[in-house]
Amino acid sequence: MKPLLRSLKVRSAKRQFVNSIEKMSANEIAALITDDFMVSEEWFVLKAQTIAKYGCTCMKCKKQIKRWTHINVDHIKPRKYFPHLKNDPNNLQILCGMCNKNKGNTTASYLPSENS
Ligand SMILES: [Zn+2]
């Protein structure tokens, strides 16, 4: 990649990051910084187990997610309202970043049908 193009891409990524932070409320930023769960070893293992179980395809839009860091292991029932379900493997699903962002703190399951 040409250096100029790369530096433009980096700048664009930084701008997106800054934009997303600027749109957050002070409470959301505080929660992000103090959210030990998302950086815990427990969550890392749960995430790996969920990806091993379901694969790397977004369950909503069916997009293949190529990078580990782009895979969103989502809580079907959000942690915010159902904190007791945060470690429940049955409450987890695979989403891409966009689908997870659109879902936000709502409850929506895209798990494959359990009737099969
Ligand atoms: Zn998706």
**How much of the chain exceeds pLDDT 90, in percent?**
44
Ligand 1 centroid to residue 7 C-alpha, Å: 28
Distance 95 CA to ligand 1 centre (A): 5
Predicted TM-score of the model (pTM): 0.68
- Can you give the pLDDT at residue 41? 82
Could you tell me if 91 and 101 are in contact, meaning their C-beta atoms sit under 8 angstroms apart?
no
pLDDT on residue 9: 66
Q: What is the pLDDT of residues 17-53, one digit of tens each?
A: 666 667 777 777 776 666 777 778 888 889 888 998 8
